[in-house]
Amino acid sequence: MDHDGSEAARWFEALAVYAPAPAFIRDGQGRYLWVNAAYAHLYRMEPDAVVGRTVEEVDTPADAAVFSALDRAVLLSGRPVRHTLSFRDPDGMLRQVTGHRFVLDVGHGPRVGGIYVDVTDHARALEEKAAADEELHALRERSGLAVVTLDLKGRVQRVSCGAAQLLGSGRTTLEGSRAAEHLDGGFDIGAVRRSWADLVAGKASRYSGSVVCRTASGDSRVLRTDLAVVRRQGAPDRITAVLTPLSAEFTGSPCVSPVQLRVLTLMAGGQPNSVIASCLGLSRQALDYHLRRLRGVLNAASRPAMVARAYALGILDATAWPPRATGELSGG
C-alpha cells in the first residue's frame, strides 16, 4: 500500500502482519489496501488475493452492506469503535469476531483500519455450556430427581428440591452438613466407606449401593445411592449422588437374620414352604419358627403381607427380579 504521510499505517502494518488476530486496512470506497495472513485466512485466501478487491467482491452482499456502513460511520465520526460482528465464510459457516475499527489518517486521505479476534469457537463453547447448564438445571430442579453434590470430605454442597423432599428437610438445613450425619447404618456401610475412599482417590469413577438414611421426622428410609466423580483438570473435584427410595419411611430397623432373609427372598419368588425348607436345608419345624419370627418382626399376619412389608421396608430390592435382598446391590 502507499505509505505517504502514513506513519500510523506503517506502524499498524508492522505490528499486525504476523499477529494471529485478523487485521485489515481499507480506503473510503471499501477497497482493501492491506490485510494480514490471519485476515485472508478467514476467507481461505492469500493476502495478495484480497488486496485490491472491494468488500463487495470478498463478502456476501448482506455482510458487505453492514461492513461498508460501519466504515462510513467510523470515517464520519473519526472515533474508534469496538464491536462484535458476524459473517459467513466461504464454506457458509457463520463466524463471529470482536475487536476495533478505527481511522488511519494518511496522506492520500483517511483509511479504515480494523483488528479482530475470531471468537467463533469460544462463542460456540459458551452456547454449548449454557445449554448443558440448562439441561443439568432441568434435571436437578424440574424433574424431581434427588441429587446431592458433596465435596471430597463428605460435606453437602448442594441439594436438589427432590432430594430435600425425599429426606423431609429444607435445602438450607441439608447444605453445609456432613453426609455421615444423615446415615443410619446400612446393609454394608463399610463397603460404602471403602468405595467412597476409592472415588476420592480417583481409583474408581462410580459406585452403586444402598444405605439407610434418617429423615427429618426421625424415621429411617432405605435409599439406593449412585455416586459419580466430577473431575476438574483430570482430578476428582466433588461427588454427585443420585438418591432413589427403596422403602417407605419406618421406625427402627427390622432385625432379620440371614436365614430369614433367604426365606423372604424365596417366598417373594412364589416358592411354597416345602421348597423353601428344602433349599435352605431346614426342617418343617425350623421353617415354622422363622416364619413366626418374621410375622412378629414385620408386623404382618400372612405370607403376602410379609413380602409386601419386606418390599415397603426396603429389605427386598423392588427393582430386581428374581427377588433379592436390597443389601445385595453391587458396587460399580
* The pLDDT value given to residue 91: 82
- Domain borders along the chain are 7-118, 143-245, 258-312
**What does the pLDDT look like over 106-137, one tens digit per residue?**
666 788 999 999 898 888 999 999 998 888 88
Q: What is the pLDDT of residues 196-252, one digit of tens each?
A: 999 999 999 999 888 888 888 888 888 888 999 999 999 999 999 999 888 777 776
Q: What is the pLDDT of residue 240?
A: 94
Q: State residue 262's pLDDT score.
A: 92
Predicted TM-score (pTM) of the model is 0.59
Q: Give the per-residue pLDDT at 6.
A: 57
Report, at the CATH architecture level, how domain 7-118 is classified: 2-Layer Sandwich (3.30)
Per CATH, the number for 258-312 is 1.10.10.10
Q: What per-residue confidence (pLDDT) applies to 257? A: 84
pLDDT of residue 33: 92
Which three-class secondary structure string do you get for the chain? CCCCCCHHHHHHHHHHCCCCCCEEEECCCCEEEEECHHHHHHCCCCHHHHCCCEHHHHCCHHHHHHHHHHHHHHHHHCCCEEEEEEEECCCCCEEEEEEEEEEEEECCEEEEEEEEEECHHHHHHHHHHHHHHHHHHHHHHHCCCEEEEECCCCEEEEECHHHHHHHCCCHHHHCCCEHHHHECCCCCHHHHHHHHHHHHCCCCCEEEEEEEEECCCCCEEEEEEEEEEEEECCEEEEEEEEEEECCCCECCCCCCCHHHHHHHHHHHCCCCHHHHHHHHCCCHHHHHHHHHHHHHHHCCCCHHHHHHHHHHCCCECCCCCCCCEHHHCCCC
pLDDT of 315 reads 82
Mean pLDDT per 10-residue interval, the chain, length 332 residues: 55 78 91 92 92 93 92 92 86 88 78 90 90 85 89 93 89 91 72 88 89 84 89 93 84 78 91 91 91 86 88 81 71 36
pLDDT value of residue 299: 81
pLDDT at 64: 92
Domains 7-118 and 258-312 fall in the same CATH topology: no
Q: Which CATH superfamily groups domain 143-245? A: PAS domain (3.30.450.20)
